[in-house]
Chain A
């Protein structure tokens, strides 16, 4: 059964613990050796509304969810109403028979919780147990996951689970296979990104909460002690980036994270980083805008913004990972590049990448690490010494041999203010010289993901990777994904697209920002597939749209 591919949709209202339910299910299946992907859909509400999570499990690697689901687990009647049409032919519906009637298999989850005087939230454990039972999963495996992932309330959850498991009928059809192979780690995009930065040598994470970046802050707040990362939640985004830059000037790798609106507030400091040559990594987790937009949904609409954010001209790097493994690797690379070149580096993520759960091995070996040109202690220290590659050696305050003068003003090589025309040109040229090195380092095959060699190519960036890769494989298209968007890897893309007659670009925004960038670099784009309803492309959706452009 190597083509086993099974999707479960868990739905209920906010406050029902749907997200946790999905996560437990995903981990349970990952521990069986299956490959999983979790997509979470929730409105910006604390209670009420409609939440759902889709967990797809397969015997092959999956990076995207499907519209069609095989099992629908409904904690309320609305879930059934809303998602019934997405059910596959041989589907199963599980629902809470204590609260509503529906066609399918009812289990009295609320009743069980009440009988056991368990907290109302444990109804999600009851639902989880029914799903496990209906797919023939041994109870002990479920119990093991509850013990590991709910250590605080294991006992009561185990009781609820056992009761619900007993009251659920045995499998009517397909059962979950078990693979004896590797158990791959499960990580949300944001968690992988956080760990990548840690692997490169991160010491400070500073952030003001903003969806969908907040979970990076939560992760560091929880694990900072073991990871050696001091985590700060300051008064606003302006303080966040400047505090991080202060730490960087004292020699400690620092990163900040936010979404578009928060990044707008950081732009003043981004320009300061450009002028003062401060290494800083900014994670921008996009969501639909403009302004507050649709806070808990996804969009790839801030590319143009991050490419040109900041007054004045200064070099920057923009990286866009598309799955957890790429998020890990590119976060590490971001920190390395920021420090090597003493520039701001932007990591462009979005809700779909940040808050989806991936099941991938992280490239722990050969991870890029922070290193920098450090001052050799000879002659008097000049913070902004003019060099051939534009990179001045670093020393830090506290070094008894050096006086380190960092500045937002135009300056001479010591960091003293200057307004002389020759100095202005010399310093601007010095900073911009770094672009040469950056191009050499980033316009390379590793920075453009390519698969297949069809004459039709599907080009995407960031989180559209999952659905696009799967569709490209299925339809025999050439898959092309630049991991770096600034400096634009023009030469590498030219090679990657050699022989392509029909270039299709898919992205989740309304105007085709990558497509525009490709065309500006002389790549003719035949077709642009845009989705901008706040939802990511699903596999089926992208396939349908591609058939529409079949030659």
Chain B
């Protein structure tokens, strides 16, 4: 037996268990498009995928690359450690919206604040899929899930706005229903030096089917938008507040700037210290 499937060097033998029609397929396609390019350039071994827990997380089982299938909400600290330890790695976090914006929210804000050199892809379907349909931090107000039968009393978080406010240096939104556009976003995100955040609208076919809604409203951000302009990025981010009503939902790169990297400020060179000398100097 081999980890890689015979036909596709990027695929494993794991059987895909997402529901037919799941938005995760679109994300997988987009990720594979970019990984294939890395394979061709013989750089695939530099990639580490880190996932949380939820439907999204199974993506690591389906791809024959290094991975860390982590726990709910904890994708970013694991990814951070990997990157700090080996800066040559291309570390890509995958998380669900419950994972990223619920359990793991503090880690997310801090990852953006620090400008860690990572990519973080959120499979945002506004519902808990694997735990069978509860509301999440991005579910619209009034969302009727199994934990909110009378409708969610909370307003959704706007993660794009939140990431801009937290200091992320690359902020984008994609749509699983447009895998080619999404692949381009991911390509740019992987190439970004710093914290690259990509919120992906990902319909959950079984518990919250938003295909029609998104197909109708998403609009690709055009060349008239200057991604270096923070104010207009914020303006664009506020155009849609993850409510279930919209005129248009911008997708594409909202913001991209360059800032010094956390790891360059913190990482110290490895060395075999002379402990006897250290003791002599500081402890005798």
Which A residues contact B (CB, under 8 angstroms)? 30-31, 183-187, 191, 195, 198-199, 203-204, 206, 223-232, 234-236, 238-240, 242-252, 254, 268-269, 272, 276, 362, 364, 380, 396-409, 414-417
Q: B81 within 8 Å of A by Cβ? A: yes
Expressed in whole angstroms, the Cα–Cα distance for A30 and B283 within the complex equals 10
Is A252 in contact with B85, judged by CB distance below 8 angstroms?
yes
**CB nearest to B81 among chain A residues:** A246
Is B271 in contact with A246, judged by CB distance below 8 angstroms?
no
Interface residues on B, range: 35 or more
- A203 — which chain B residues lie within 8 A by C-beta? 85, 270
Q: Mark B36-66, 1 if CB is under 8 A from A, else 0.
A: 0000001001111010010000101100111
- A235 — which chain B residues lie within 8 A by C-beta? 106-107, 110
Is A242 in contact with B268, judged by CB distance below 8 angstroms?
no
Is B275 in contact with A228, judged by CB distance below 8 angstroms?
no
Secondary structure at the B interface, as helix, strand, loop or mixed, is: mixed
Q: How far is the CB of A512 from chain B (nearest CB, A)?
A: 35
Within 8 A of A (CB), among B93-111: 106-107, 110
Instruction: Provide a sorted-by-A list of 27 A–B residue pairs whose CB atoms are within 8 angstroms.
Output: A198-B275, A204-B84, A227-B273, A228-B272, A231-B268, A232-B84, A235-B106, A239-B107, A239-B110, A240-B77, A243-B80, A246-B78, A246-B79, A249-B68, A250-B86, A250-B89, A251-B85, A251-B86, A272-B71, A362-B279, A399-B45, A405-B67, A407-B68, A408-B53, A415-B69, A416-B12, A416-B13
Expressed in whole angstroms, the Cα–Cα distance for A184 and B269 within the complex equals 30
- Which of the residues A191, A230, A246, A402 comes within 8 Å of B77, measured between beta carbons? A246
Q: How far is the CB of B55 from chain A (nearest CB, A)?
A: 13
Not counting A249-B81, A415-B67, a sample of 19 additional A-B residue pairs whose C-beta atoms are within 8 angstroms of each other reads A227-B273, A230-B266, A236-B106, A242-B81, A246-B80, A247-B82, A248-B85, A250-B85, A252-B85, A268-B71, A269-B71, A272-B70, A272-B71, A396-B86, A397-B48, A397-B82, A403-B66, A407-B69, A417-B58
Interface centre among A187, A362, A407, A408 (most CB of B within 10 A): A408
Interface centre among A184, A230, A276 (most CB of B within 10 A): A230
Is A198 in contact with B283, judged by CB distance below 8 angstroms?
no
- Which of the residues B68, B69, B84, B283 comes within 8 Å of A417, measured between beta carbons? B69
Is B82 in contact with A246, judged by CB distance below 8 angstroms?
yes
- B66 — which chain A residues lie within 8 A by C-beta? 397-398, 403-405
Is A228 in contact with B45, judged by CB distance below 8 angstroms?
no
Is B86 in contact with A230, judged by CB distance below 8 angstroms?
no
- Which of the residues A246, A249, A254, A398 comes within 8 Å of B46, measured between beta carbons? A398
Is A245 in contact with B78, judged by CB distance below 8 angstroms?
yes
Is B78 in contact with A398, judged by CB distance below 8 angstroms?
no
Interface centre among B42, B85, B86 (most CB of A within 10 A): B85
Expressed in whole angstroms, the Cα–Cα distance for A414 and B14 within the complex equals 11
Q: B7 within 8 Å of A by Cβ? A: no
Q: B278 within 8 Å of A by Cβ? A: yes
Q: How far is the CB of B183 from chain A (nearest CB, A)?
A: 22
- B86 — which chain A residues lie within 8 A by C-beta? 250-252, 396-398
Is B85 in contact with A246, judged by CB distance below 8 angstroms?
yes
Q: B284 within 8 Å of A by Cβ? A: yes
- Which of the residues A228, A230, A249 comes within 8 Å of B82, measured between beta carbons? A249
Known: A268-B71, A406-B67. A230 touches B107 (CB 8 A): no
Expressed in whole angstroms, the Cα–Cα distance for A231 and B272 within the complex equals 16
Q: How far is the CB of B268 from chain A (nearest CB, A)?
A: 5
- B64 — which chain A residues lie within 8 A by C-beta? 403
Known: A187-B283, A398-B45. A248 touches B81 (CB 8 A): yes
Is B68 in contact with A230, judged by CB distance below 8 angstroms?
no
Is B266 in contact with A186, judged by CB distance below 8 angstroms?
no
Is B268 in contact with A247, judged by CB distance below 8 angstroms?
no
- B45 — which chain A residues lie within 8 A by C-beta? 397-402
Expressed in whole angstroms, the Cα–Cα distance for A39 and B39 within the complex equals 60
Expressed in whole angstroms, the Cα–Cα distance for A414 and B69 within the complex equals 13
- B6 — which chain A residues lie within 8 A by C-beta? none
- B282 — which chain A residues lie within 8 A by C-beta? 223
Expressed in whole angstroms, the Cα–Cα distance for A231 and B266 within the complex equals 7
Which B residues contact A (CB, under 8 angstroms)? 2-4, 12-14, 42, 45-48, 50, 53, 58, 60-61, 64-71, 74, 76-86, 88-89, 106-107, 110, 266-273, 275-276, 278-279, 282-284
Known: A239-B110, A246-B77, A254-B81. A195 touches B275 (CB 8 A): yes
Expressed in whole angstroms, the Cα–Cα distance for A277 and B69 within the complex equals 13
Expressed in whole angstroms, the Cα–Cα distance for A398 and B89 within the complex equals 6
- A30 — which chain B residues lie within 8 A by C-beta? 284
**CB nearest to A227 among chain B residues:** B273
Known: A239-B107, A248-B81. A414 touches B3 (CB 8 A): yes
- A185 — which chain B residues lie within 8 A by C-beta? 279, 283-284
- Which of the residues A199, A224, A402, A406 comes within 8 Å of B68, measured between beta carbons? A406
- A198 — which chain B residues lie within 8 A by C-beta? 273, 275
- Which of the residues A228, A242, A247, A401 comes within 8 Å of B70, measured between beta carbons? A242
Expressed in whole angstroms, the Cα–Cα distance for A364 and B278 within the complex equals 12
Q: How far is the CB of A181 from chain B (nearest CB, A)?
A: 13
Expressed in whole angstroms, the Cα–Cα distance for A276 and B53 within the complex equals 14
Is B275 in contact with A364, judged by CB distance below 8 angstroms?
yes
**CB nearest to B68 among chain A residues:** A406
In the A-B complex, the 10 residue pairs with the closest CB atoms: A246-B81, A250-B85, A242-B77, A407-B69, A228-B271, A397-B66, A185-B283, A247-B85, A247-B81, A243-B81
- A398 — which chain B residues lie within 8 A by C-beta? 45-46, 66, 86, 88-89
Expressed in whole angstroms, the Cα–Cα distance for A244 and B77 within the complex equals 8
Expressed in whole angstroms, the Cα–Cα distance for A185 and B271 within the complex equals 23
- B58 — which chain A residues lie within 8 A by C-beta? 417
- B283 — which chain A residues lie within 8 A by C-beta? 185-187, 191
- Which of the residues B61, B77, B89, B273 comes within 8 Å of A397, measured between beta carbons? B89
Is B2 in contact with A250, judged by CB distance below 8 angstroms?
no
Q: How far is the CB of B63 from chain A (nearest CB, A)?
A: 9
**CB nearest to A275 among chain B residues:** B71
Q: How far is the CB of A39 from chain B (nearest CB, A)?
A: 18
Expressed in whole angstroms, the Cα–Cα distance for A375 and B144 within the complex equals 51
Q: How far is the CB of A363 from chain B (nearest CB, A)?
A: 11
Interface centre among A30, A250, A252, A409 (most CB of B within 10 A): A250
Is A226 in contact with B74, judged by CB distance below 8 angstroms?
no
**CB nearest to A396 among chain B residues:** B86
Is B69 in contact with A405, judged by CB distance below 8 angstroms?
yes
- A247 — which chain B residues lie within 8 A by C-beta? 81-82, 84-85
- B268 — which chain A residues lie within 8 A by C-beta? 224-225, 228-231
- A240 — which chain B residues lie within 8 A by C-beta? 77
Is A405 in contact with B78, judged by CB distance below 8 angstroms?
no
Expressed in whole angstroms, the Cα–Cα distance for A408 and B54 within the complex equals 12
Expressed in whole angstroms, the Cα–Cα distance for A185 and B89 within the complex equals 41
Q: How far is the CB of A419 from chain B (nearest CB, A)?
A: 11
**CB nearest to B60 among chain A residues:** A405
Expressed in whole angstroms, the Cα–Cα distance for A301 and B263 within the complex equals 38
